[in-house]
Amino acid sequence: MLRNGLEPWHLLIVAIVLVVLFGSKKLPDAARSLGRSMRILKSEAKAMKDDGAASAEPAPRAVAPAPGETAS
């Protein structure tokens, strides 16, 4: 039924509709803000992933010498 979902002429029609709806002056600003949002989303997801990995690993504990032993 839908073997070739997006052909080049489909993308051309979508581009024309976007230009007509938003205008050629607003499209670069919209693309720029979308790029910034994606960059922020990626950095926040990476920070959450790193934070989750850090809290999942047990913190290394220092072994205290037994009473009567000297630490070297």
State pLDDT tens for residues 12-65.
999 899 888 888 888 889 889 999 999 999 999 999 988 877 776 565 666 666
Query: Which helix (DSSP H) or strand (DSSP E) does residue 17 occupy?
Result: helix 8-22
Query: Which helix (DSSP H) or strand (DSSP E) does residue 12 occupy?
Result: helix 8-22
CA 38/CA 42 separation, integer angstroms? 6
Check residue 59 and give its pLDDT.
57
Asked whether 38 and 31 are in contact (CB, 8 A), the reply is no
- Take residue 61 and report the two structure tokens written for it: 């504990």
Check residue 23 and give its pLDDT.
86
Check residue 1 and give its pLDDT.
46
Break the chain into its structural domains and give their ranges.
Answer: 15-54
pTM over 0.85: no
